[in-house]
Amino acid sequence: MPSTFTQWVDWIVPNILPLLGILVVALIANRLLRALTRLIVKPAAVPTRQSQLREQQTLTLAGIVYSTGRKVVWAVTLLGALHVVFKINILPAVTVTGLASVAVGFGAQTLIRDVIAGFYIVLEDQYVVGDTIQIADYIGRVEHLTLRRTVLRDPRGALVTIANGEIRTVSNLSRDWSQAFVDVSFSPETSSDKALQALDSAAAALRNDPAWAPALVDGPRILGVQNLDRTASTIRLQVRTAPTRQDEVARELRRRIQVELHKQGIPISSVQRIELTGVTHSMQEAAQSDSTN
């Protein structure tokens, strides 16, 4: 019995300090990893749904990074402990692990690309769930966002799934403000001053309406004559709105313009375009000229 105890003492004494050193280094590495991952978290500055979603996404991202890093730290700690206690050469194990990682990387390079792209989307706050964005030809509201994919609800109501690695350019339509332009065409006989006065009255009525004040950021304002030819003169108005509300504001502005023009007896241009097949270009121009007269 004493010999067994002596053997344990002889084994523990020379190994206890290296093992404690490895354990302390592992604990310090975990603490540093925790502190670094906390820097990823973006606390909600204002109590809005988007800010809270942003905070939750960064918390999830920080959790993934910390969990992965912690596993790496403890794996290295275990290999170091095996080397100290059992004198096992860890170089072959590290080499095999590295080769396996390279093989897995080649086999899952598309998945890795998607995850890395998703990491940057969340970290750089390009968009969050609830934002309306445009990716290539797809426009829709972000319904779901992970490190691998982005899911949009398009205007048809369809769910569009896009791999994050396929995203090259994204337009966020829900940040700060949105913008709309409204073009109104008048017949050439209409006085431009009278038309501008009518449009200004319609724009002022919308600006001063308390029901629409929350949707307006700037305008509506008249930019001036956008186009002028023998068939019609077109005047453009600009309005900046709260994010994603530009369409409804533009519709209301058009309605008020129509009411104001009707009130002042100003006709709107009614230019028609006729396409004829099997005729010469001169005959087609003559047909279009007759339709406008």
* Tokens 């093989």, located at residue: 103
Residue partners of 202: CB distance under 8 A and separation at least 6: 253, 256, 257, 259, 260
Contact 65, 35 (CB under 8 A): no
Q: Are residues 220 and 128 in the same domain?
A: no
Q: Is residue 113, in this structure, part of any structural domain at all? A: no
Residues 12 and 90 in one domain: yes
Specify the number of domains making up the chain. Answer: 3
CATH number, domain of 208, equals 3.30.70.100
Q: 293 in a domain, yes or no?
A: no
pLDDT greater than 80 at residue 62: no
> Does residue 239 belong to any structural domain of this protein?
yes
In a shared domain, residues 225 and 184: yes
CB 140 within 8 A of CB 133: yes
Split at pLDDT 50, 70, 90, the class of 112 is confident
Q: Do 57 and 8 fall into the same domain?
A: yes
Rounded mean pLDDT, 33-54: 72
Residue 34: phi, psi to the nearest 5? -60, -45
Structural domain includes residue 273: no
Residue partners of 70: CB distance under 8 A and separation at least 6: 30, 33
C-alpha distances in Å from residue 82, one per residue of 4, 8, 71, 91, 210: 22, 17, 17, 12, 74
Question: Quick one: which H or E segment has residue 266?
Answer: none
CATH number of residue 156's parent domain: 2.30.30.60
DSSP state of 268: B
Domain hosting 218: range is 178-264
Sign of the C-alpha dihedral, residues 21, 24, 30, 35? negative
In a 13 Å sphere around the CA of 142, the CA atoms on its Cβ side amount to: 25
In degrees, to the nearest 5, what angle opens at C-alpha 238 toward C-alphas 235 and 130?
Answer: 145
pLDDT over 90 percentage in the chain:
27
Residue 140 belongs to a domain: yes
Count other Cβ atoms within 10 Å, centred on residue 198: 22
Contact 146, 161 (CB under 8 A): no
Q: Which residues, listed in sequence order, are joined to residue 185 by a DSSP beta bridge?
A: 234
Residue 92 shares a structural domain with residue 43: yes
Confidence at residue 31, expressed as pLDDT on a 0 to 100 scale: 86
For every residue of 54-75, DSSP letters joined together read HHHHHHHHHHHHHHHHHHHHHH
The tens digit of pLDDT for each residue in 69-88 reads 888 888 778 877 777 666 66
| Boundary-marking domain end, from 53, 74, 107 | 107
Instruction: Provide the pLDDT for residue 160.
Output: 94
Q: Are residues 100 and 166 in the same domain?
A: no
- Do residues 8 and 102 both lie within one domain? yes
Asked if residue 116 is part of any domain, the answer here is no
Q: Answer yes or no: are the C-beta atoms of 283 and 276 closer than 8 Å.
A: yes
Do 13 and 87 belong to one domain?
Answer: yes
Is pLDDT at 275 greater than 50 in this prediction? no
Quickly count: other Cβ atoms within 10 Å of residue 242's Cβ.
Answer: 15
> Is 90 found in the same domain as 10?
yes
Residues 100 and 30 grouped into a single domain: yes
- 77 and 163 inside one domain: no
Tokens of 65: 């990074």
Residue 282, in any domain of the structure: no
Residue 238's nearest CA partner among 225, 222, 216, 214 is: 222
Look up the CATH number of the domain holding residue 75.
1.10.287
Whether 90 maps to a domain, the answer reads yes
* Two structure tokens written together for 10: 């002889």
Residues 8 and 77 in one domain: yes
Q: pTM of the predicted model, to two decimals?
A: 0.58
Q: Write the pLDDT tens digit of every residue in 195-206.
A: 899 999 999 999
